[in-house]
Amino acid sequence: MNYGFVIDNRLCIGCHACSTACKSENEVPLGVNRTWVKYVETGVFPDSSRHFQVTRCNHCANPPCVEICPVTAMFKRSDGIVDFDGDACIGCKACIQACPYDAIYIDPDTLTAAKCHYCAHRTEIGLEPACVVVCPEQAIISGDIDDPHSTIRQLIDNNQVKTRKPEIGTKPKLFYIEGSTVTLDPIASVQIPSTYMWSDVEAGNKHAGIDKNANKLTKASTADGPVKIGGKVAEHMVQVSYDVNHKKAWHWPVAAYLTTKASAAGTYLMLMCAMAMGVADIGDVVSRVMSLIVLVAMVATGVFLCVDLERPERFLRVIIRPQWRSWLSRGAWILVGFGGIVISILGINLAAWLEIKHVDELENMLLRPATLLAWGGASSIVAICVATYTAYLFRQAKGRELWQGKYLPLHMGVQAAIAGSAICIMLMNWVGGVGDMYSFCVTVLCGGIAISAVIVYSEHIVDKNRVTAVRMSNQAMVFGEYRIWFWVGGIFCGHVLPLTVLFGAGTGFGTIVAVGALFGLFCYEYVFILAGQTVPNS
């Protein structure tokens, strides 16, 4: 058994009976939808058309929502249905970022992820999904797509069918007969919510700005020329007239978590470098303060991770019931391992401070070149994993093209080096310079900022990327609604200010260098997270 859907657009009359039946059958709350009929209008009266598209989960054969879920709350059944378990969900919203089709929402009552589950409770007892039964035109066909004698298989074989975004490789199992590009491709049409007929638009939706301009253009140009909407001549008009909200699932806590995580990993790597250079000792004040900073940054990382969860009280499930293909689970275990290393170092420091017996011998043993190389090298690899694993989590978020950049792991490593070296420079200003170590930190900071600037320039500013969704995100980031965060925060505070202070004001301004670098890092991550979510997926 391998369940799938066919939507026959030759028959669909856009009546929304399926949306209503689904709401009723599955008790879907107001404001969210498991299935809906997207409307797109083309042309201008009398040569206008309205295109319908029943839109929902595609029960993909290769579902990225399942791969990214850290606790197996999204899962694929043996009958091909992609189902969810609200009792297991922690509300991390990673599946929303992974689904390239906008099929998942957070249930406002349970604060857990939900979506079309093919009415699994009905199919298990031999009934068809509620939408199939209610459709007056029999435009929705369900069944086993692997059975050559089934109606659905024959419809697929005997008609030209299309799926949404086949290029992503998710292998959707919802096939449209006479599917239209203007509805299948979410960025082929202008999305102006005031032209929507009934759908609610999120309060404070940034589309409102585009909206006002669109109305102005329509009014102004009727008097002296062809009607224009969103800058397009109306004869060529393609606009959405009914759709759901495209809410952003991740906000500032994710940017804050990336910043504190980079600070923890970077500071630890600087500490290891200091020990390798012989300017820090495992029991000295520099080592104690740096380890403490790493620990505080790690605790803050955990707090920001929890703040972003819809069900923070379920956070420990990422550790105790991990789904190992998810980089959220892998990352959580990397953070746990790293936390253990930092606590051990602090424990040795504390024992030395309390003058506990035999600690001196342990310290001496740990600082022997061969042992230092072994544990310092191994723990540094863990720190590098802490800095970079999120790049692989972003790669699993297949719904966000901006986050698929090939230099992302390198950039995250470089960001950790910038944060760690800036924190060290500040620390050395406070406790007194440590000669070679200060020069080393300045070199790392300058090198990191230079590499970061090249990556930011090539990935976001020159923008040779041919993927339209990436260009749209970059537009929002560099020239659109996030431009102040990007230029003032990310570029000026994060790149220009630390270098200007270091070379223009001398060595006594480490605090300004660190604050600028860390605030700049936060601003960059903030726009990267939000701009990546500006492109609609349905």
For residue 176, the cross-strand partners are 7, 162
Contact pick of 7, 37, 94, 282 for ligand SF4 (by CB under 6 A) = 94
145 binds ligand SF4 (CB under 6 A): no
Nearest by Cα to 384 from 360, 352, 349, 420: 420
Please state the closest distance from residue 403 (CB atom) to ligand SF4, in A.
15
Q: Note the helical H segments in 36-164.
A: 64-68, 94-98, 120-123, 130-134, 151-158
113 binds ligand SF4 (CB under 6 A): yes
Q: Is 246 left (phi over 0), alpha (psi -120 to 50) or beta?
A: beta
Strand 140-144 to 3-8 pairing? antiparallel
280 binds ligand SF4 (CB under 6 A): no
* CB neighbourhood size of 195 (10 A): 18
Q: Which residues in 167-196 contact ligand SF4 (CB under 6 A)?
A: 170
240 binds ligand SF4 (CB under 6 A): no
Measured from the CB atom, is 106 or 280 closer to ligand SF4?
106
* CB neighbourhood size of 227 (10 A): 16
Pick the stretch among 36-44, 112-120, 176-184, 514-522 that binds ligand SF4 (CB under 6 A): 112-120
Separation between Cα atoms, residue 115 and residue 104, nearest integer Å:
5
CB within 8 A of 196, min separation 6: which ones? 240, 241, 242, 243
57 binds ligand SF4 (CB under 6 A): yes
Measured from the CB atom, is 97 or 195 closer to ligand SF4?
97
Q: Which two tokens stand for residue 40?
A: 């797109």
Please state the closest distance from residue 323 (CB atom) to ligand SF4, in A.
8
Contact pick of 4, 80, 91, 376 for ligand SF4 (by CB under 6 A) = 91
95 binds ligand SF4 (CB under 6 A): yes
63 binds ligand SF4 (CB under 6 A): yes
Pick the stretch among 15-23, 87-95, 352-360, 494-502 that binds ligand SF4 (CB under 6 A): 87-95
Contact pick of 92, 132, 518, 521 for ligand SF4 (by CB under 6 A) = 92
237 binds ligand SF4 (CB under 6 A): no
Contact pick of 7, 18, 32, 69 for ligand SF4 (by CB under 6 A) = 69
Pick the stretch among 32-40, 94-102, 264-272, 331-339 that binds ligand SF4 (CB under 6 A): 94-102
Note the Cα 51 to chain centre separation in Å. Answer: 31
Pick the stretch among 81-89, 175-183, 190-198, 253-261 that binds ligand SF4 (CB under 6 A): 81-89
The mark string for 115-144 relative to ligand SF4 (x by CB under 6 A, - otherwise) is: x-----------------------------
Element (H, E) at 161: strand 161-162
User: Phi, psi (5° rounding) for residue 385?
Assistant: -65, -40
Please state the closest distance from residue 75 (CB atom) to ligand SF4, in A.
9
Measured from the CB atom, is 176 or 486 closer to ligand SF4?
176
Please state the closest distance from residue 437 (CB atom) to ligand SF4, in A.
42
Q: Which residue has the tokens 């040795």?
A: 348
Nearest by Cα to 524 from 466, 470, 478, 475: 478
**Over 427-454, what HEC string results?**
HHHHHCCCCHHHHHHHHHHHHHHHHHHH
Please state the closest distance from residue 335 (CB atom) to ligand SF4, in A.
17
80 binds ligand SF4 (CB under 6 A): no
Contact pick of 12, 99, 134, 397 for ligand SF4 (by CB under 6 A) = 99
Q: Note the helical H segments in 111-206.
A: 120-123, 130-134, 151-158, 181-184
Local structure of 196: helix, strand or coil: coil
Separation between Cα atoms, residue 438 and residue 435, nearest integer Å:
6
Measured from the CB atom, is 103 or 130 closer to ligand SF4?
103
DSSP symbols for 241-306: EE---------HHHHHHHHHHHHHHHHHHHHHHHHHTTS--TTSHHHHHHHHHHHHHHHHHHHHHH
Separation between Cα atoms, residue 96 and residue 64, nearest integer Å:
10
The mark string for 398-427 relative to ligand SF4 (x by CB under 6 A, - otherwise) is: ------------------------------
Q: Where does this chain bind ligand SF4 (CB under 6 A)?
A: 57-60, 63-65, 68-71, 73-74, 82, 84, 89-95, 99, 101, 103-104, 112-113, 115, 170
